[in-house]
Structure 1
């Protein structure tokens, strides 16, 4: 800290700041002092010392090691533009539900069987909308969640190519009816959310207490009735709606 001393007509500036190589005073800030007892009309000028640099502190934690069946995912950046190319404000950007696996735990144990993770580092995955704990690591958003919260593996940009994991199924939603039974045209707000669709892909099934796979009773091509508000909704590149949900949320097979 600089200390200013005024004694009679003399002015001195005593600085208690430590000396740093490369520290320069700012040319934009000038501090001027004038002696009240001197008859000189000229004013002495002193340059003010402005410290603008800040010390960069290294992060306290530099690694994240997931435990058990937990997985660390690097979140994919939110879309900044709409499909029509319109720039979206941050409040209108959809929250991403996909990312890259960057670290995995040692897996879980069922009975006496050790079950390894079904995903590997570098895999592109889709996860449940409200799952996990968000954290910022290496300047990027990450999500720490359980493997069971991963919906499926998606190596392309098209949700039709999603490979469901565990007991998840991918369904192509039947379009909502645009007219009532009496022929009246329905507005978008009044259309019932459809809960019928065609199964596009199914997961390998769940694990029993011995760590063995139990295949699902649902197969691709089935037309099914599912719970109205279950699962994760997606829009495909073909403009159709898709939903990924657990097999337990499928209520019936229609024929």
Structure 2
């Protein structure tokens, strides 16, 4: 596993270029009826996340900046791999390239 960066405040992390800062949804530790789920089930990260911050975009081959396809507050579908982990206190966030995000989830 890659080294994990640790910060005091998530506001100190400003994504560059086409990077997107997300926080994955946490799996439920209990069923609706109150049964506790084993850690082998709850340790797998869910593929859904909330976008926390986005970079301004990356330049294309002509030098024109192409903005990211998601915005802060969007719900997104992530691949099962990748992303750079960032730790803020007990919370874990990830930086992904905009092109690695699979889909935007509409409510």
Judged with a 3 Å threshold, the aligned counterparts in structure 2 of structure 1 residues 190 and 243 are, in CA distance, closer, same or farther, namely same
Gaps spanning 5+ residues in structure 1: where?
Answer: 1-93, 99-155
Task: For 1:95 and 1:241, locate their aligned partners in 2 and report how far apart those are by CA, in whole Å.
Answer: 13
Q: Which residue of 2 is the match for residue 221 of structure 1?
A: 73
Judged with a 3 Å threshold, the aligned counterparts in structure 2 of structure 1 residues 199 and 95 are, in CA distance, closer, same or farther, namely closer
Gaps spanning 5+ residues in structure 2: where?
Answer: none
* Alpha-carbon contact 2:4-2:86 (below 8 Å) kept: no
Displaced runs of 4 or more, over 6 A: none
Q: Compute the displacement of 1:214 (Å).
A: 0.5
Q: Compute the displacement of 1:215 (Å).
A: 0.7
- TM-score (norm. length: structure 2): 0.80
Q: Which residue of 1 is the match for residue 83 of structure 2?
A: 231
* Alpha-carbon contact 1:232-1:243 (below 8 Å) kept: yes
Aligned length: 104
- TM-score (norm. length: structure 1): 0.37
Q: Compute the displacement of 1:97 (Å).
A: 4.6
* Larger RCO (alpha carbons 8 Å, 6+ apart): 2
RMSD over aligned Cα, in angstroms?
2.4
* Alpha-carbon contact 1:235-1:242 (below 8 Å) kept: yes
